[in-house]
């Protein structure tokens, strides 16, 4: 982990961000004391859209109807308007 002063961080921010994007962690100091860190964001695992749709359909099939047998979304909307 590298350490840079706040003035250097301000002056060379684009270069520091490039290093962070490659996985480095950089501590920023003010008068020799750490005040901030530049770190890469946590890696996100993105799900395939088909996988999300399939999981939703499986959940719906497992849980059954959530509005009840005779209740429709239209009924809920009308009830909310009263």
Contact yes or no for 5/29 (Cβ under 8 A): yes
Confidence of residue 68 (pLDDT cuts 50, 70, 90): low
3-state secondary structure of 3: strand
Q: pTM value?
A: 0.52
pLDDT in tens, 22-63: 999 999 999 999 999 999 988 776 678 888 899 988 988 887
Number of helices (H), then strands (E), belonging to the chain: the values are 4, 3
Q: Tell me how far apart the alpha carbons of residues 12 and 81 are, in angstroms, rounded to a whole number.
A: 57
Structural domains in the chain? 2-38 (3.40.1620), 49-81 (no CATH)
């Amino acid at each position: 982990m590298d350490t840079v002063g706040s003035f250097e961080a301000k002056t060379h921010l684009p270069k520091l961000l490039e290093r962070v994007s490659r996985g480095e962690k950089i501590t920023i100091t003010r008068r020799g004391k750490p005040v901030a860190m530049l770190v890469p964001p946590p890696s996100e695992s993105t799900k395939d859209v088909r996988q999300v749709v399939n999981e939703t359909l499986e959940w719906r099939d497992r849980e059954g109807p959530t509005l009840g047998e005779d209740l429709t979304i239209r009924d809920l909307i009308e009830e909310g308007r009263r």
